[in-house]
Structure 1
């Protein structure tokens, strides 16, 4: 599908795990592990500068303590903020540039991803719908179970982290099924904690009802000396038509010393661009 750029809304979407973006006020409400180092004011200032460089219209974030803390790196006069209601220290969140959508609706969290049957609370999915004049996109921000990046999930014997990740898969599959029934355009983005590719069990199970696009599939992430992507995007057939080809980007930090990860993040922002028809 060729979209006339003169009649399209061009948007930059990013996902960024900001690694324990918490403040002293946050941990007074919800304690965090003792080995987590709180950032200093200079660290927040540096992240603010990187966010200015990223300059995305929609940013999905993971490991956010609160909207108040998120305001330390996202200017309140430029963005609107949404965060999950989980009773945990790390939340998925969204920062959306003001005045680019006609309406924004925060839907109930996908709390099934943080099910009481799990050994300890995980993170719900943050579910938000954005509306343009003629279209809408359902956005689901996720931060899935860690510890099972590439272990095959179709084996009979799985370690605990893989079992938990595998339990999250049908929850996402059911969310996708509902969006398809509604004929609703959608994007799932965030930290999958999984190298997701079209031939892999996790993805194949998600895409049984439709064709999903993974812009990061089979690509190496240059962040912190590189690895395969665990942060990324799943696009339905509608939003796939809006994806600008070859728009995948990673914003690397100028600091390359691994000691800087505690000040910045162990993840780099990953972005794509969409061109949404405006007529």
Structure 2
């Protein structure tokens, strides 16, 4: 891929930091496949009745039941206030929760213009099934572009059978789902080369990888410029695929295009077995449904 002038020195420094934060757990040596998922949880707050989607104990219990039915080994989460918020949904006796280290601006503001509701912090992260070996890498803070209201990426390596799989949980700028003319598009377009640089670096390594989360972009649309930038097969392992393939989204009948994606590199694509979008029964628990892909663990 082409080198982009918009990639800052901060991006380079961030991407070269690669360390283990905390001791990894023992690997699941008998696991033949691994299921990884992405789920924007729509303003998941840690306390009842707070945030842009105030919830009750019953709501959190419904979210937990949905998470249990999803039954994924690793879930990239978005729009979560904190580790405590995620642990209300993903049982901490079953999952290790990691949340980005970003210090939010604290500006908050009203939720979609509604009086009495205040925006809480929105972070990215992971829930990782206990017993699955993992190592945390440095957060991809370059995605913030120096703006504390933008999200960084959470970067981990999991080892389901000893062989590593690198995963990045992202939530890119909203408001530019296609084209480049909307007000939010200049910001998203500055995040594109940061993502491209991360992809290039991973493609040059001997490790399969996937980027998961809310891209706020219809990447599968014909001729999408963002996807064309990332998926140009240079280096060769950055010959990418969308795990959903040609599947249409079913979460909301108004929208047939996914904006949540699981992007796989060439090596992970060869190991893909199954894609799933888990819709809701009855009331939607979030304005996004979880998507998941099962791949060979190796």
Q: 2:228 aligns with which of 166, 183, 204?
A: 204
- In the alignment, structure 1 residue 51 sits paired with structure 2 residue 81: no
Give matches, 1:15-164, under 5 Å.
15-24=38-47, 36-88=52-104, 89-101=121-133, 104-116=134-146, 118=147, 121-150=149-178, 152-153=179-180, 158-164=181-187
- In the alignment, structure 1 residue 239 sits paired with structure 2 residue 239: no
Residue 177 of structure 1: how far off its partner (Å): 1.2
In structure 1, C-alpha distance between the alignment counterparts of 2:49 and 2:74, rounded to whole Å:
24
Where does residue 254 of structure 1 map in the other structure?
281
Residue 25 of structure 1: how far off its partner (Å): 9.0
What secondary structure sits across from 2:252 in the alignment?
helix
Q: TM-score, normalised by structure 1?
A: 0.83
Alignment CA distance shift 1:26-1:179 (3 Å): farther
What secondary structure sits across from 1:254 in the alignment?
coil
CA RMSD of aligned residues (A): 2.0
Residue 23 of structure 1: how far off its partner (Å): 2.5
Runs of 4+ off more than 3 Å? 24-27
**Higher helix proportion, which one?**
1
Where does residue 265 of structure 1 map in the other structure?
286
What secondary structure sits across from 2:242 in the alignment?
coil
Residue 178 of structure 1: how far off its partner (Å): 1.1
- Structure 1: tracts of 5 or more residues without a match: 1-6
Where does residue 215 of structure 1 map in the other structure?
243
In structure 1, C-alpha distance between the alignment counterparts of 2:163 and 2:246, rounded to whole Å:
31
Residue 100 of structure 1: how far off its partner (Å): 3.0
In structure 2, C-alpha distance between the alignment counterparts of 1:43 and 1:65, rounded to whole Å:
16
Q: TM-score, normalised by structure 2?
A: 0.78
In structure 2, C-alpha distance between the alignment counterparts of 1:55 and 1:111, rounded to whole Å:
29
Residue 133 of structure 1: how far off its partner (Å): 4.4
Aligned length: 247
Q: 2:194 aligns with which of 171, 176, 186?
A: 171
For residues 115-168 of structure 1, give each alpha carbon's deviation from its aligned partner in whole angstroms, at most 9, with x where no partner exists: 22x5x6200011111124441111100001101112x23xxxx33311111111
In structure 1, C-alpha distance between the alignment counterparts of 2:157 and 2:131, rounded to whole Å:
15
In structure 2, C-alpha distance between the alignment counterparts of 1:248 and 1:274, rounded to whole Å:
9
